[in-house]
Amino acid sequence: MSNYKDNLMELLKEAIVELYSGGLVFHEITESGFYCDFDLSEPLNPEKINAINNRLSGRDIPCAYELSGFSGAYQDGDANKKMLQRIYVAAFETQAELQAHRDKMAKAFEHDHKKIGAQLGIFSTSDEVGQGLVLWHPKGATSRFLLEQFSQAAHLLNGYQWAYTPHIGRSELWKISGHLENFRDNMYNPIDIDGEEYYLKPMNCPFHFIIYNSETRSYRDLPIRMAEFGNVYRYELSGTLHGLTRVRGFTQDDAHIICTPEQVESEVAFALKFSLYILRSFGLTEFKPYVSTKPKNKSIGSDEQWAMATEVLKKAVVAAGLEYEIDEGGGAFYGPKIDLKLYDSLGREWQCSTIQFDFNLPERFKMKYVGSDGRNHIPVVVHRALFGSIERFFALLIEHYKGDFPLWYAPVQFAIVPINQSHNDYCKRLEIGLKKLGLRVDADYTETHMREKIKRFETEKIPYIFVVGDKDIEAGGFSVRSRKHGNLGVMNLESLSEHIKDDLEQGKPKYILAEGVEV
């Protein structure tokens, strides 16, 4: 099927060898074409791309294509290795397919979270701080605070307990957990403290299990659902780092559900229901759950354990009113999982929530509870990440909404524009009135022309702009322009409160734990 891509790649290679005597080092076929990494004596530039294009145009090419971009790329994504020259090629069987692809790319560029993140003052990264380490600017931090506040309150309301744990732990801990054995390549080098080795944490699980083990647990204490926004650090090749989606330090909204075998079915069903509730609160509605089964090569746990756990996961998906797809052999060696994928407004798939069985760590950490028979038993452990990484989830929100965040987590919700200075006093009272309602407001009292003020607030994607002139003051209100609903005429605080009630309601945590409560 991808034969035309192979043929085109061969012609591209010939053209580059003839023009610049460079060798092809690496290539990868993608859905929309392919990319090739060449070892060239000098970097590519637009003139060289033109020359390659001219060379190709004389050839008989059996498909629609374009050289869609070029960049430097480290060999194997490793900054210590050679810099290669990467050429991206879009290739399709027909011109119409190529055009559709171009349109899609143009749209994706408009939604790009790096671009919008910089425009709206959401985040940045800096060479001085280090690659893959995110700086949250005040506006991004405000939205993030609202997101975390909502999620944390919803967790506490729905039977989760909260934990805070350190960023580093002794090597002993990572030996017990098996991370040094199985995950070392993703971890940073140890820090020496008083002659002992400590590691930055790549995961939170071991800390939660130590908290669990700090007390004798009875079956009456279970289930325990322990949650945390844990900052974890994982090594990623520098060439693969990207915006908020591929970083070296990120925050996992992590939870561990520790329960008896009898409880696990309802616990997994609840974990999924809770995840869907939270995600829907952010305006996300399209999901696809994948149930990943036992891997072929390495796995631990008995066949019965795998069969039981896989069945529990499937039932939970069905109970949530969704249809699952099976990812055959896609489970981790220590247990099967549900991966919940999300679709954004451009129809692209994002990996977010994971609900994962673990047949490994309860034994490694010697976790136990006293059963109703008075004996010790090993509990069932389920790992759950809901947003996955808060950083990546934010990238999804930015791209899904193109920076137009829903009202409840928009960093600034309302902007006030007095038409001239004589309206400032009235507007200041309006600003105070809004703030007293707990709303986030910006106002411009300078002498700048109102059109300029409006333009600035529109660029900042503030959901509502209130314009105030003599007529509005006479009517005891303000003229409302909504990004979503257009011009809404004159409103006052009372009618505004009524108008935004439902949108703000989305951001208020609900109790959904009880059976039969629909969300």
Examine the residue annotation and report whether 383 is marked as an active-site residue of this protein. yes
Closest residue (Cβ) to Zn ion? 205
Nearer to Zn ion by Cβ, of 113 and 383: the residue is 383
Nearer to Zn ion by Cβ, of 167 and 429: the residue is 167
Q: Which residue has the tokens 């350190």?
A: 166
Q: How far is the CB of 255 from Zn ion (least distance, A)?
A: 8
Q: Is 261 helix (H, G, I), strand (E, B) or coil?
A: coil
Of the listed 27, 85, 101, 254, which one is catalytic?
Answer: 254
Cα 400 from Cα 347, distance rounded (Å): 9
Nearer to Zn ion by Cβ, of 89 and 205: the residue is 205
Strand partners, 441: 414
Which of 502, 243, 252 minimizes the C-alpha distance to 398?
Answer: 243
Cα 501 from Cα 509, distance rounded (Å): 14
Nearer to Zn ion by Cβ, of 111 and 234: the residue is 234
Of the listed 101, 144, 155, 205, which one is catalytic?
Answer: 205
Q: How far is the CB of 209 from Zn ion (least distance, A)?
A: 9
Q: Is 455 helix (H, G, I), strand (E, B) or coil?
A: helix
Nearer to Zn ion by Cβ, of 15 and 203: the residue is 203
Q: How far is the CB of 203 from Zn ion (least distance, A)?
A: 6
Q: How far is the CB of 86 from Zn ion (least distance, A)?
A: 36
Q: Which residue has the tokens 């952010």?
A: 282
- What's the alpha-carbon Rg for the chain, to the nearest Å? 27
Q: How far is the CB of 254 from Zn ion (least distance, A)?
A: 6
Q: How far is the CB of 330 from Zn ion (least distance, A)?
A: 18
Examine the residue annotation and report whether 253 is marked as an active-site residue of this protein. no
Examine the residue annotation and report whether 5 is marked as an active-site residue of this protein. no
Examine the residue annotation and report whether 254 is marked as an active-site residue of this protein. yes
φ, ψ for residue 343, nearest 5 deg = -110, 130
**Contact residues: Zn ion, CB under 5 A:** 205, 383
Q: Which residue has the tokens 């409006």?
A: 454
Examine the residue annotation and report whether 99 is marked as an active-site residue of this protein. no
Examine the residue annotation and report whether 344 is marked as an active-site residue of this protein. no
What are the helix (H) ranges across 368-492?
A: 390-401, 424-436, 450-459, 470-474
Cα 6 from Cα 141, distance rounded (Å): 46
The two three-digit tokens of residue 110, written as one number: 């408009």
Examine the residue annotation and report whether 192 is marked as an active-site residue of this protein. no
Do 123 and 134 form a contact (C-beta atoms < 8 A)? yes
DSSP letter string, 189-239: PPEEETTEEEEE-S-SHHHHHHHHHTS--BGGG--EEEEEEEEEE----GG
Nearer to Zn ion by Cβ, of 205 and 244: the residue is 205
Q: Give catalytic residue positions.
A: 205, 234, 252, 254, 256, 337, 383
